[in-house]
Structures are given as C-alpha cells and as structure tokens.
Amino acid sequence: MQLIPRHDPYLVVRSTGGVTVAALRGELDLVLVRHLRPELDALVRESDALTVDIRRLTFCDATGLGLLAHCAGRMHRRGARWRLHCDQPWILRLIRLTALGDVLRPEPGPADLLGPADPLGQPAPSGPAVSLPAEPGVTRPVS
C-alpha cells in the first residue's frame, strides 16, 4: 500500500491496486468540510474505487453527511466503486434518519484498513458493527 504524502491531521490517504482509501478523523462539521472538500473532490475525480473510512470521527453533523453524500453521488454517477466504512451507532443512526443509507451504503469494514495503527498513531478500531433499532427515537446506550 502506498501512502500519499500529505500533512493533514484530519485525512490520511492510501492507494494500492486501483483502490484509494481516505480515512477521516476529527469533527466533520462545517469547518472541516470546507477544509476537506477540495481534497475529497479530487479523490472522487481521480479514483475508480474510493473507500472512505469514517470510523475515527468524533462528531458528524448534517454538513458532514452532505459532503459524504455529495462524494458518494458523484462516484455512483461515474460508475466508480464507493465504499463507506462506518461502525459508530450514532453516525449510522444519522444516516438512517436522513434516509441516506441507499446513497452512502455504510458497512463496518475491516479493522486493519490502515494497519494496526494509522500514521497518526491512532489504533485501528475493532469489533463488530452495532445494529440499531429501526424505530425513530429509540436509542440504545453506547458502551
């Protein structure tokens, strides 16, 4: 796997065998969306297969979901492969409540997507995805 050189604490990008993996971390809000949009737009334009890993996000609002939906929609229209790795119950619930599941198509993804630790020193998350209740407004405690 080839690490694409960059110095961004919120985005780590690797590419190998025609697949590009973009791992996001931090708070995906208006400020970070403005920062990341040019980078993600470039990845969407240039990638035949793009996997976005959001398992290290600590926050995501409607602006963040909008950016992800924008990227996914452009990839789908181009006929390119889109994958979104997400195993966080609170983000999965937002995706369900906003009816973006068919566009974003979240999946848990492998624990070792960026190896045992990413270049920023953060351990890769592990464990199975959490299934959420289908009824709006019903939540389970997050452990």
Tens of pLDDT, residues 79-108: 999 999 999 999 999 999 999 999 999 999
Q: 104-142, pLDDT tens digit by residue? A: 999 998 865 555 444 444 444 433 333 333 444 434 444
Place of tokens 């919120």: 10
**3-class DSSP state of 87:** coil
Global pTM?
Answer: 0.74
Q: What is the dihedral of CA 1, 87, 63, 20, to 10 degrees?
A: 10
Min mean pLDDT across 21-25, 27-31, 82-86, 135-139 is at: 135-139
Q: Which two tokens stand for residue 94?
A: 């937002």
Mean pLDDT of all residues in 51-64: 96
pLDDT exceeds 90 at position 33: yes
